[in-house]
Chain A
Amino acid sequence: MSGDRKPASLAEALSLLAGAPEAPLLLAGGTDVYPARAVAEAWGRYAPRPVLDLSGLGLAGIEDRGDHHRIGAGVTWAALRDAPLPPWFDGLRQAARQVGGVQVQARGTVLGNLCNASPAADGVPPLLTLEAEVELASRRGTRRLPLGAFILGNRRTALAPDEIATAILVPKPAGETRSAFLKLGARSYLVISIAMVAGLLEIDSGRIAAARLAIGACSPVAQRLPELEAALIGARPEEAAALAAPEHLAPLSPIDDVRATAEYRRHAALVLLRRLLAGLAAPQAQGGSQAA
């Protein structure tokens, strides 16, 4: 397209975005853009739009900013997977290893996964448990939204037409922290989740001081489990799995689809949740991250 641009700075990108006569397609790693294009092309629905390629903005760093980590918009799953990060990132990095194949991990960005806002986005549950925020920039300024407020629904986000998502901000939890991620699918590689569970525990003196749990692919947007999180506080980690009960899954609204039934999803989510909590109680014994 003649309107395609690949700006070299955020300021230039925001300026191009603000001045664009037609809303451009924001392109980062391309791993969601091109598959969608392939379907549209096959059925004669492809309508070319100008592309604003964000890969040249220099936002590909993971930085320790003291009280939080900043994951730039250009950070790929592979970069996150291979980065030396503290243990609260373990769950997110386990998710990174299971996003597509290594080819997709090398190109797809973590923030792009959030912007695509698929109900089965692998990045969302772990980042919900990290209480991550999304940084959005426009010529009007910069704002931060909690991830839960950024993703509004299936394929819908709070990104304004003149905004670019520039970073994921991950606050540092206090004290000893353990995190994990479990994904259930019907094959071993390249699989879209039937259900997935992410969890993060802060441990103080052998007791759970804080718990954050999230389940994906069982509702239009991955959901935290506030009641269970509250119920876990004060418990010993090894007691946690037994405390998870079906009623804690009330925030979920799973559907029947090609991968599984709603009823199965609800059941599997609980099984995964208990396994995840059991694994967090004995972190050294936890080998792989794959549930199935």
Chain B
Amino acid sequence: MSAPAMFDLAGRVAAVTGGNGGIGLGIARGFAEAGAAVAILARDEAKNHAARDELIALGARALAVRLDVTDRAALAPAMAEVERELGPIDILVNNAGIARPVGATRGELADWDRVIETNLNAAFILARLAARSMIARRRGKIINIGSEYSLFGNPIAHSYSASKGALIQLTKSMAVELAAHNIQVNAIVPGWIESDMTAPMKSRPFYQEVLRRTPAARLGTPAECAGAAIFLASSAADFVTGATLFVDGGYSIK
């Protein structure tokens, strides 16, 4: 197998939650360019359609499914729609995530619940649905998008940190459980990436602090997360499971 061909995703079906913007759309674009059929599962219909049209323009079969991942009853039907429209799922990216920077002592429990439901519970439920489908074909890739706060303490978004830390442990446990079925489960930890989620920080002193602490001295781009996702989704990573790839310009090791 020639090296670039081993990264080819032609014929594969991928679903990306929160895939209509930011890191999720960067990954969806990368998958489309690598030849995969791509489903975007996200809330905002206008952004969904724009993202879908962009993927189609890249030459991919693409689908946008309107989904609020906290609506548990909607998760299985959404996955069923992806499989009906595009085919059995080969690649799931749990990327949808929210943060509620309200502080541990002040925040409402409803904030905590919302964050854990979106970032962790939905990822688990979708991964389980995908795995059940993948087991039948003895092949599959699940990629969970963690965060620097999977590792580090966050002064205002404790629920975000807790959910993202747990997502890494979920990654490891599902990797161990599903290895016998030739399903690989891995995580990507993006550092500070240009997106709607990080845009507000640019006006704060914290932005300079991040730049100083990041050896690469810049934010990453959603496209730079795509390379790692394509690698993990491809046959080039068939012996990689339970691992976490850091796409962070060195932030976490300084």
B is a partner of A: no
